[in-house]
Amino acid sequence: MPFIDTPYGDQNAEVEYNIEGKQIPLPIYQPCGNEMEFFQQWDNEQAGFALVQGPSFQLLVPKKDKEFLRNLKDFKSIDELIQYYEEIFHLYNDMIGLEDTDTGTNRMSKNRYFLKADVNGCGGACYYDWCTVNSEDTVDMWLKKNNWGPLHEIGHGYQAAFDDKGIYTGEVSNNLFGVQHQYSKNGKDADKIGWLFNYGKKESVEKNLYQAIIKEGKGYTEVDDLRFQLILLTMLKQKAGNEAFTHLYREYRKLANQEGFDANKYPLPDLMNRYYGETSGYDFTPVLQKWKLYTDRIQAEINRSKGYKATASLADIVSESQLSNARKLVDKDILINSNFEMVDNQQIAPLGLKGSVKIQLNIDDINQLKGQDLLLKEGSKVVKRIAITGKELTVQDVPNGVYTIEIPTGREARYSVDKHYLYIKEKENHLTLKIERIQHSDLVNSAIQFLGIGDKQFAELRTNLNQQQAVFHVTDKDPHYRFENEKYAGIQVFDENKKVIFDKEIEGTNVPTGQEIIPLKEGYTIKIFHA
């Protein structure tokens, strides 16, 4: 059966074709059609396939599934099946800000999804540019209600070029659409019937996520679990709000339509930090840094300068013994609940939890700051002034939460600080601030992206001579499958005496992800290899 792609743009396509031999008409069902006549034609013609068409999709049904389609278990009719999928597409389109009346970058696509079966498809199901398939000889997956597979695969078509830029999202961010569909339809009951918490196994999922993030100190990439990563991104999106998610997509389309646009220059963590912040008024820098993701220093400074409130995962600012009480306080106002749901300080203030903190100031000359105040802020509001009397400061009775830190300017020199956020739990907390004189401009600090197959970023090297270091971050474990067991990329760093102080080789597959700190000073040499 020949199918023709929908022409892109305003110019119509011209199609020429010849038909030879016997043809069997393809039974086609369209909205508000006659099911009896549809099946009668299929029975009489003995066609190998039939086609179910909706405004947003078409489903090619093999003869094997004829009786399944005739006697649908989850739908009263084929029209109800079509309506079910149209509601999914409507929600997904709405989430990314597409509109029928828009004539610019938010214009609704005229393409339709092509749903089918394919025994040669990868995995259980897969998404391609030209079709979306159940990887078997049946389309039963597409004929069931509340099935995660269709929500997941359709979601792939809504991923943008920012996916996998600075953070792995390939099999994660598409699920944000499925999560929103399940929770918008089922409310909190989606915990029991949805994929996010493994179909009712929420307690086990939460326990294992807490173990990985809090007790083992792993970041987003290190947890290496698609469900865990989805929970984290879901909590981030939920705190920012649905409007922020839509704003992200709309603004990104504007960027992508600019001449000379390079997707690798717009890492997703920075895009979220910017556009989520613009919409919600929250600063997500501390969250992203807690997950060990790179965040652009300038964007973080913009967030702080605009007075955005720092936010944090509940588990990062309430100890394990108090999580139950904290959840009772905040869960009722939050749709999707988790120990990692994101809150600001005022949301947990009624708990009355407080802790102490010892702050170590690592600075070359403490007299530059002595007699001035270190500020703890909630957005633009100063909530505590800490007098700087020496390099060690101790503060009692600080309410649990995450605070933005602001250090005073030096009396005779400008300084930068390596950390801008303070986490407080109801215990003794510790924070070391590395405060350094600003001696180099940002012109000598740069980022180098490493691209793999399909120009997909798999690593990044960031230099910072002010801190005398570089950070090498690998975000994708399989940069290029054709270089399996072969060297694909590498970095060597030599000191001023030409001695190798860092040597890293990366093969094409099965690469350990994570970040490494590399000493870096003036006079050092960086040598980069890329196949």
Residue 391 has pLDDT above 50, yes or no: yes
In 25-143, the DSSP E strands lie at 28-29, 49-53, 57-62, 113-117, 125-127, 132-134
Residue 398 lies in a domain: yes
Per-residue pLDDT reduced to its tens digit, 447-478: 888 988 877 889 999 888 878 889 999 988 89
pLDDT of res. 6: 76
Q: Do 209 and 301 fall within a single domain?
A: yes
Tell me how far apart the terminal alpha carbons of the chain are, to the nearest angstrom: 42
pLDDT of res. 78: 98
Q: Do 512 and 493 fall within a single domain?
A: yes
Residue 10 lies in a domain: no
**Cα four-point dihedral sign 18, 20, 25, 28:** negative
CA distances from 447 to 260, 296, 440, 459 (A): 19, 10, 16, 10
Q: Do 297 and 385 fall within a single domain?
A: no
Domain boundary among 268, 300, 331: 331
Where residue 469 falls (left for φ over 0; alpha for ψ -120 to 50; beta otherwise) is beta
pLDDT of res. 443: 45
Q: Do 327 and 196 fall within a single domain?
A: yes
Residue 5 lies in a domain: no
Q: What is the pTM of this model?
A: 0.83
In 438-513, the DSSP E strands lie at 447-451, 457-464, 469-474, 487-494, 500-507
Please give the radius of gyration of the chain, using alpha carbons only, rounded to the nearest integer: 27
pLDDT of res. 444: 57
Per-residue pLDDT reduced to its tens digit, 181-191: 999 999 999 99
Task: Kindly indicate the confidence band of residue 508, based on its pLDDT and cuts at 50, 70 and 90.
Answer: very high
Instruction: Please state the rounded mean pLDDT for residues 376-405.
Output: 97
Q: Do 312 and 214 fall within a single domain?
A: yes
Residue 181 lies in a domain: no
- CATH assignment at residue 495: 2.60.40
Instruction: Please state the rounded mean pLDDT for residues 494-502.
Output: 91
Domain boundaries, position 419: 352-437
Task: Kindly indicate the confidence band of residue 71, based on its pLDDT and cuts at 50, 70 and 90.
Answer: very high
Residue 441 has pLDDT above 80, yes or no: no
Q: Do 141 and 202 fall within a single domain?
A: no
Q: Do 479 and 498 fall within a single domain?
A: yes
Per-residue pLDDT reduced to its tens digit, 160-189: 999 999 999 999 999 999 999 999 999 999
Task: Specify the number of domains making up the chain.
Answer: 4
How big is the CA angle at 38 (ends 33 and 41), to the nearest 5 degrees?
Answer: 150
Q: Is 152 helix (H, G, I), strand (E, B) or coil?
A: helix
Q: Do 424 and 517 fall within a single domain?
A: no
pLDDT of res. 148: 97
Instruction: Please state the rounded mean pLDDT for residues 384-393.
Output: 96
Q: Do 107 and 229 fall within a single domain?
A: no
